[in-house]
A and B are shown apart, each in its own frame.
Chain A
Amino acid sequence: MYVAVKGGEAAINEAHKLLAEERRGDKAVPELSTTQIDEQLSLAVDRVMTEGSLFDRKLAALAIKQARGDLIEAIFLIRAYRTTLPRFGSSIPVDTAEMGIRRRISATFKDIPGGQILGPTFDYTHRLLDFKLAAEEGSDSEAPHVGNADLSATDALLDDAMPRVVDLLGHEGLIEEERPAEDDAEVGDLTREPMSFPVDRDIRLQNLARGDEGFLLALGYSTQRGYGRSHPFAGEIRLGEVAVEFIPEDLGFPIEIGELTLTECQMVNQFKGSAEAPPQFTRGYGLSFGHCERKVIAMALVDRALKGRALGEAVEGPAQDEEFVMEHSDNIQATGFVEHLKLPHYVDFQSELELVRKMRRKATDMSAESADDEIVEAAE
């Protein structure tokens, strides 16, 4: 427990001034703009939006700047900001089958309708530092070759239809079906109601979607290493833009209020039959704002691991333990509790100090007594 402390106002003000100075860094170096962060550190922006649970690129860029690049601090700022705004309602569930594809790959099928689209990926790069990026700073000679030149009539375009790969398996009944619930209006929201276990899939997916990427990455990895193995294949990963439809109460009909960038991962996992159902693949799902590929793959692994109980699998690894995963996935809750340790605990610590002194006195007295006993015994 920590207790309120008074005083230190002047020191705190000075500390905040120093923080602002450190944030700005050397004034001989041009200041970073939030637009630059949005455009050039876009994957950091994507992570802050996903785990901050708020799609707004400009706000996320501002939070990153204010937090000096500390992404968890930036996520904290975004979470705090969202509590100041009213909620107008909920969107119609987005349809990722209708995504304007920028990247779409399948690790399960080589030939898929619409094709495999690599898009902007680090995959197949050599992971060698590119010193040209440092040497040519400011010259902008590294402008992407695809450029913004006008489209010529001969440029190939993507196919219109980009069906989800798992839906193709679904047609043959080879994979467990994902059917909508009877009433879509009854969607759990952990920002409104505290979680109580066991939780439904909606709460689980919301929790994982805003969960810490590092935590989910480690848990997903643990399932691959044997702590709740589920033999995963990335059935499909897709990135692109999806229109968000919303029905304003005062209009009563749906309008598209904008487009969001989303990343989706459909994991295809090992099959199991039962008395009622023939063997079929099972699945895990990952979805994020922006381009958060590592996150959605990890999320899909953990989503599948957490299905274990419903599928009658033994809970052997941490990733299969719903309460463990969901109670520790939120990096703002986690950082709050872990980092509060640095706040004044003076009174609390004083009482512990008293206690340990008392115990030591007792221990000394006792050993003195037993030492006396030994002398007496020896004398006898």
Chain B
Amino acid sequence: MNMSNHIASSSGNQTEANSGETQNSARSAWMSILAKSNPDELVRAWERLDDKPNWRWLRKPETGLVMVRGRAGGTGSAFNLGEMTVTRCAVVTEGGEGAPGFTGQGYLAGRDRKHAELAALFDALLQDTSRRPALENTLLKPLEDELAGKRRKASAKSAATKVDFFTLVRGED
């Protein structure tokens, strides 16, 4: 896959936060949480934010498709199952007082532009090490808890339908 792109390289210049495997995996984790979370929660979190940064669009929200792949038999060769709608956008925040800003990206399933915008803004804010610890506590942790709670609830509902089949011997032994 072609990884060279002006956005990646420009954000790489702005901050060291984008380089390195661990940074990528941390960023990947929060971007995944932001993408999967209820957008209403992101709206509320943004409204709660006291020091909202100034920001501008690098790429306005755009809806397109990602081809979803599966594997034959679950483990075999890849095949194209079908597409899904995906919305993406990119923002640049201003650091203020000469400090560098951050490039934030939103990539998520569906066509919710506001959700993509907020995911991108929080992605930018989370790259700012002065803001990250607070956001991890006030935003990421509750979102993660909510996702985990949803999964647990679904798991409990399904677990109630767990069945023990037993075979009966028919006729004479």
Residue of A nearest to B1 (CB): A247
Among A50-58, A221-229, A343-351, A366-374, which stretch is in contact with chain B? A50-58
Closest A residue to B67 by beta carbon equals A90
Among B121-173, those with CB < 8 Å from A are 149, 151-167
A157 to B157 alpha-carbon distance, docked (Å):
8
Contact with B77, one of A118, A180, A189 (Cβ below 8 angstroms): A180
Contacts of A118 in B (CB 8 A): 161-163
Interface centre among B5, B73, B111, B151 (most CB of A within 10 A): B73
Given contacts A59-B85, A88-B88, A244-B84, contact A249 B69 (CB under 8 A): no
- A339 is an interface residue with CB less than 8 A from chain B: no
* Contact, CB under 8 Å: B86 / A184: no
A257 to B108, CA, bound (A): 4
In the complex, the number of residue pairs spanning A and B with C-beta atoms less than 8 Å apart equals: 258
Q: How far is the CA of A155 from the CA of B157 in the complex (A)?
A: 9
Say which residue of A56, A177, A190, A203 sits within 8 Å of B110 (CB atoms). Answer: A56
Question: Does A181 have its Cβ within 8 Å of any Cβ on chain B?
Answer: yes
Interface segment, one of B31-39, B42-50, B92-100:
B31-39
**Which residues of A128-186 have CB atoms within 8 Å of chain B's CB atoms?**
146, 148, 151, 155-158, 164, 166-167, 177-181, 184
| Contact partners of B71 in chain A: CB under 8 A | 93-94, 96, 178, 180
Would you call B63 and A85 a contact (CB within 8 A)?
yes
Is A205 in the interface zone, CB < 8 Å from B?
Answer: yes
C-alpha gap A118/B162 in the complex (Å): 6
Q: Does B41 contact A (CB under 8 A)?
A: no
State whether A252 touches B79 (Cβ < 8 A): no
Task: Count A-side interface residues using an 8 Å CB cutoff.
Answer: 86
A89 and B35 in contact, given A184-B78, A253-B27 (Cβ under 8 angstroms):
no
A264 within 8 A of B: yes
Give the complex CA separation of A206 and B7 in angstroms: 33
Contacts of B54 in A (CB 8 A): none
Which A207-264 residues have a C-beta within 8 angstroms of B?
209-210, 241, 243-244, 246-260, 262, 264
The 6 lowest CB-CB distance pairs between A and B, nearest first, are A258-B109, A178-B76, A178-B73, A252-B3, A256-B32, A53-B82
Q: Apart from A82-B83, A258-B109, A259-B109, list 13 A-B contacts with CB within 8 A.
A: A55-B83, A58-B110, A91-B67, A96-B71, A103-B161, A110-B165, A117-B163, A118-B161, A151-B149, A184-B78, A205-B72, A256-B36, A285-B73
**20 A-B pairs (CB sep. < 8 Å):** A88-B88, A91-B66, A96-B71, A100-B155, A101-B155, A101-B158, A157-B152, A157-B159, A164-B74, A167-B75, A187-B78, A187-B79, A203-B79, A206-B81, A248-B105, A250-B105, A257-B66, A257-B107, A258-B36, A260-B68
**Contact residues of B with A, CB < 8 Å?**
1-3, 5-8, 24-25, 27-28, 31-32, 35-36, 62-86, 88, 90, 105, 107-111, 149, 151-167
Where the two chains meet, the residues of A that have a C-beta atom closer than 8 Å to any C-beta of B are 49-50, 52-56, 58-59, 82, 85-97, 100-103, 110, 115-119, 146, 148, 151, 155-158, 164, 166-167, 177-181, 184, 187-191, 201-203, 205-206, 209-210, 241, 243-244, 246-260, 262, 264, 266, 283, 285, 287, 289
